Amino acid sequence: MKKFVLAVFAILTAFLGVSFLILTPANAHMMSKNAKLIARGKKLFYSKNIGTNGFSCATCHVYSTGTYINLHGRGMVIRPIKNAAKKMAEFDKMHHMHMTVKMKDKMCVKFALRGHISKGGLKALTAYVGSLK
């Protein structure tokens, strides 16, 4: 019984120590800053003003299912946005290279939405897409 109590005490002490490290003011500030970046990216993702053709990223990239579109006379299924960052690690056969989320986001804005995005906007959009699990 004493060993059990000591083990529980050790686990609780370790948990509290880790919690203290996680909740330091510096970490809380970083979490807050990252949350703001993700929130800004989410606004951009759903904004129809990001491009010039009246579409948003969300128009094609539905969260959990792919979307079929007719792009330049050929039909294609746009991948769902869920777990996009994880899927980016795969080899992109169409472009013959490994592409990062940032590269894909920039290409989508430029070519699919016919728009332009600032470096800060691209960083926010990439943070939002990367946060989707």
Mean pLDDT, consecutive 10-residue stretches, the chain (133 aa), reads 63 54 54 88 93 86 68 68 67 75 87 92 92 81
Domain range for 96 is 39-131
- Tokens 């290409």 correspond to 107
Give dist(CA 29, CA 56) in Å, integer.
30
Instruction: Please say whether the beta carbons of 124 and 117 come within 8 A.
Output: no
The reported pLDDT for the residue numbered 43 is 95
CATH number of the domain where residue 86 is located: 1.10.760.10
59: alpha, beta or left? (left if phi > 0; alpha if psi -120 to 50): alpha
Domain membership of residue 48 (yes or no) is: yes
Domain membership of residue 90 (yes or no) is: yes
Domain membership of residue 46 (yes or no) is: yes
Domain membership of residue 27 (yes or no) is: no
- Tokens 């769902």 correspond to 80
Of the candidates 63, 66, 84, 65, the residue with the CA atom closest to the CA atom of residue 130: 84
The reported pLDDT for the residue numbered 13 is 59
Domain membership of residue 28 (yes or no) is: no
Domain membership of residue 49 (yes or no) is: yes
Instruction: Please say whether the beta carbons of 97 and 88 come within 8 A.
Output: no
Query: In total, how many domains does the chain have?
Result: 1
pTM, to two decimals? 0.65
Domain membership of residue 6 (yes or no) is: no
Handedness of CA 77, 49, 120, 113 (dihedral sign): positive
Domain membership of residue 29 (yes or no) is: no
